[in-house]
Amino acid sequence: MSSGLRRLGAQVLEIPFIEIRKPRSFRQLDTALKNAHDYDWLILTSVNGVAAMWERVRKLRLNRKQFRHLHVAAIGPATKKAIESRGLKVHVVPENYIAESVVRRLHKQVKGKRVLLVRAKVARDVIPRDLRAAGAQVDVVEAYQTVIPQASRTRLRAALGNSKRVPNVITFTSSSTVRNFMDLLGDDHSRALKDVRLASIGPITSGTLRELGLRVDIEAREYTIPGLIKAIVAAQP
């Protein structure tokens, strides 16, 4: 996103609102990967999930052929590209790149099937809940976790507290980035954000912004990084 915005002439200040870490244990993921033959579907919901899963595949010295029988669903084009770069075919990419759209695409295909969902430790339960309701047996395994990057606290407050550095737009690419942003910023945010426009990657992230009392000034029509960049450009005076 930073490089895309810079190519368009923007000045970009990068302050991460999430930090990716390994889970406390890979036991569940490793067991699932070793028994991939037991599953009918594999669902991956982020590029981070793909990278974390494939790191374990290499660590366990598994062959990609052990996964080729699986029907694979990716939440969006970036995740699809990451999966296919590892040599697996992606069978389903939903029209809208959110969990609800994944469920709609798979709802009639998973009854009586075993589904492996590889994701972050903390994530919305829409996919496992609704696919189980559709008759699937769903195993949810943690491939990575996201935490609040404490080093960002000072940088964020310094940027918003300096009239010469206050950004015109702050971007949010997930509900986790919204919640962590609020934690990093602290209680007194109304004045700090008075002249800042808040840009959301899609309706789920927008819902979290509103839930926490923040505005949604810009929302991407296509729920991807390129879509968010387009929305930011279109919103400029």
Q: What is the pLDDT of residues 130-139, one digit of tens each?
A: 999 999 999 9
CB atoms within 10 A of CB 89: 12
Section 1-11 average pLDDT: 95
| Structural element, H or E, at residue 90 | none
Position 189 confidence tier, pLDDT thresholds 50, 70, 90: low
Strand partners for 170 = 198
Q: How, if at all, do strands 41-44 and 114-120 pair?
A: parallel
Q: What are the C-alpha distances in Å from 96 to residues 74, 111, 212?
A: 11, 22, 24
pTM, two decimals, is 0.81
- Indicate if the pLDDT at residue 190 is higher than 70: no
Strand partners for 172 = 200
- Indicate if the pLDDT at residue 114 is higher than 80: yes
Length of the chain: 237
Of the chain, the percentage scoring pLDDT greater than 70 comes to: 97
CB atoms within 10 A of CB 130: 19
Please name which of 86, 91, 54 lies closest in space to residue 73, comparing C-alpha atoms.
Answer: 91
Section 163-182 average pLDDT: 92
Position 124 confidence tier, pLDDT thresholds 50, 70, 90: low
Strand partners for 73 = 43, 92
The domains found in the chain, sorted by start residue, are 2-18+149-234 (3.40.50.10090), 21-147 (3.40.50.10090)
Of the chain, the percentage scoring pLDDT greater than 90 comes to: 74
The answer to which of 4-8, 65-69, 104-108 has the lowest mean pLDDT is 104-108
